Amino acid sequence: MERPVKDGILYVQHCRFGKRSWRKMRAQLFAASPSGVARMENFDVRDDGTALEKTSLRRCARRVIRLSDCVSVGPAGTESCPKATAAFYLTTTEKSYLLASEQRDEWITQLCQLAFQGAKETTQSSSGTQASPAVPMEENSLYSSWQDLTEFPVLVVRTDAATRCGLHGHYLLSALPQSLTLKDPQSRQPLLTWPYPFLRKFGQDQTVFSFEAGRRSDSGEGTFTFSTPRAPELCRAVSAAIACQQQGKDAPDP
């Protein structure tokens, strides 16, 4: 019988008719094994606590998130969470989840280990067979890959401009030094590019990032809106890129 590597209470945020609310659930993390894939299993929890019993778990509707579909995991910044909890996001190729827990860091650590362990092992195995001295090293808690800083999983919110361009579903939005680029989430091939000089305005509100493109952009003029738990990070990345361009433009020629 499989034993979860982590078991506890989580809250998941839902948005219905524009109103956000948190739903309490019990979550269990399972590592990959001959019995099953690495996954998170979720069960609804009633306030009276009856769903915490094993017999109740069998009766509850079970939802499974395959961790092989996970794109990114990380803290979600400031959110109005349930008391004594902190928010974090879990983004898969199918959906973005905003979660909250009293043990946020522990959940993030376990999810990253289970979701990205395969990629880590592949990298280690391809690094060569030459022996190297065992130097003691510590994990850098501030480490972020280039993709973590520039690529943001997003979900298109329907607007006239998005409909005109045939955009729907999940994509990657990259805040590159010269432009915003929308990519296919699987192949990472560019689909649309918006150079920063062609953006009239941009901004974010909690889990939504939006910008207004000018008529000179490839997409034509219009407003594009994307849902992402990392909206504040995305907005800051765009601001920083525009500031760097402005400094370069204002600098005298050598």
pLDDT at 205: 83
Task: Report the pLDDT value the prediction gives residue 162, as an integer from 0 to 100.
Answer: 93
Q: Which amino acid is at 38?
A: A
pTM: 0.48
In the chain, what is the straight-line distance between the N-terminal and C-terminal CA atoms, in Å? 70
The pLDDT of residue 211 is above 90: yes
Average pLDDT value for residue range 40-57: 62
Q: What is the pLDDT of residue 6?
A: 92
- In the chain, what are the domain boundaries? 6-47+59-116, 150-248
**CATH says 6-47+59-116 is which class?**
mainly beta
Q: What is the mean pLDDT of residues 148-158?
A: 81
Distance set, CA 148 to CA 17, 64, 133, 213, 240 (Å): 31, 25, 30, 25, 15
149-153 LR contacts (CB < 8 Å, sep 24+): 149/237, 150/174, 150/175, 150/176, 150/237, 151/183, 152/209, 152/228, 152/230, 152/233, 152/234, 152/237, 153/71, 153/72, 153/91, 153/96, 153/185, 153/228, 153/230
Beta bridge partners of residue 223, listed in sequence order? 212
CA distance 100 to 42: 14
Give pLDDT, residue 15. Answer: 75
10 Å CB burial of residue 53 (0-12, 13-18, 19+) is exposed
- Would you give the DSSP letter of residue 36? B
Query: In what helix (H) or strand (E) does residue 161 lie, and over which residues does it extend?
Result: helix 160-164
Work out the percent of the chain whose per-residue pLDDT is above 90: 26
CATH architecture classification, 150-248 = Roll (2.30)
If you ran DSSP here, which 8-state letter would residue 33 be given? B
Q: What is the pLDDT of residue 136?
A: 64
Among 105-109, 126-130, 194-198, which stretch is predicted with the lowest mean pLDDT? 126-130
Domains 6-47+59-116 and 150-248 fall in the same CATH topology: yes
